[in-house]
Structures are given as structure tokens and as C-alpha cells.
Amino acid sequence: MQVGIALLRYLADPALRARGTAATNKVESSNGYSKWLGFGGVLADNDPVGQEKLIKFNTLLANLVVFHNALDVSDIVRDLIAEGWQITADQLGQIAPHLRAHISRFGAYATDDLHRQPNPFDPLLKEVDFTEVGLAA
């Protein structure tokens, strides 16, 4: 009976359907991004341990690239704000973390820059007012 009530509520409430669709689209976007990044492995046999490793490594790779993208976007937003641009939380909410244009999956990678220390991680964009946006769903 509970499933029927939930289904009727879903059918009757456009806002609930929109929220469900948005969440589904985000998951599918993330899955597509992971698949796009995962060019190095093929699930060629029925070895469950190998399959699990491949999936976990691909998920780790996707998470690392999304994290790197978030750091780059944060740096760019800070630079724009320093130049006088007004950036809102709503505008930041429109940026997807699944950026691809800067990734050279099959290109040459230099490792001669590995000795440089990265800047410290600053997770807060103190310059942007997030109080207007309801971040909890």
C-alpha cells in the first residue's frame, strides 16, 4: 500500500517529479563521466575481484578529477571576485563538476613538475553568499 501512495504522490506532484528527475540526471551524468574517463580497463572476464578493482579504480579516478575541477573552479571564482565580478551561489550551482575539455586522456603527461608543492586546500568560498540557496534537499 505504501508503494501505491508514494507513486500517486509522485504522479500528482510536479515539484517532486522535477526533483527526482534532477537527481537522476546528476547520477547519470556522473556515471557517464566515469565511463568516459575509464578508457583503460575492460571487463573482459568473469573474475569478480578484477571487476571490483576496475570499478573502484575508475570511481576513484572520477572522484579525483571532479575534486581537481572543483579546485580549479574555486580558484577561477576567487580570481573573478578579486577583479570585481559578482558571483552568486545560484550561478555556482549551475556549474557541473564533470568538465572534460581540459583532459587529455590519451595525450603525453609531463612528470617533471611533481616536485612543486600545491597551494593549501581552502574548501570555503567566503566571498560568495550561500545563505540564499537551500542546500539541503
On whether the CB atoms of residues 106 and 136 are closer than 8 A, the answer is no
Handedness of CA 75, 80, 84, 86 (dihedral sign): negative
Q: Is 35 left (phi over 0), alpha (psi -120 to 50) or beta?
A: alpha
Cβ-based neighbours of 127, under 8 Å, separated by 6 or more:
77, 78, 81, 87
Going from N- to C-terminal start, the domains of the chain cover: 1-137
Answer yes or no: pTM beyond 0.75: no
Cα end-to-end distance, the chain, whole Å: 25
Residue indicated by cell numbers 587529455: 104
Give 87's DSSP letter: -
pLDDT in tens, 24-69: 888 888 888 888 888 666 667 788 888 888 888 888 989 999 998 9
- Residue 46 amino acid letter: N
**Does the pLDDT at position 79 exceed 90?**
yes
Q: How confident is the model at residue 137 (pLDDT cuts 50, 70, 90)?
A: very low
Helix, strand, coil in percent for the chain, rounding step 5 = 55, 0, 45
Residue 134 is predicted with a pLDDT of: 62
| Mean pLDDT of the chain, nearest integer | 84
* Residue 65 CB neighbours (<10 A): 19
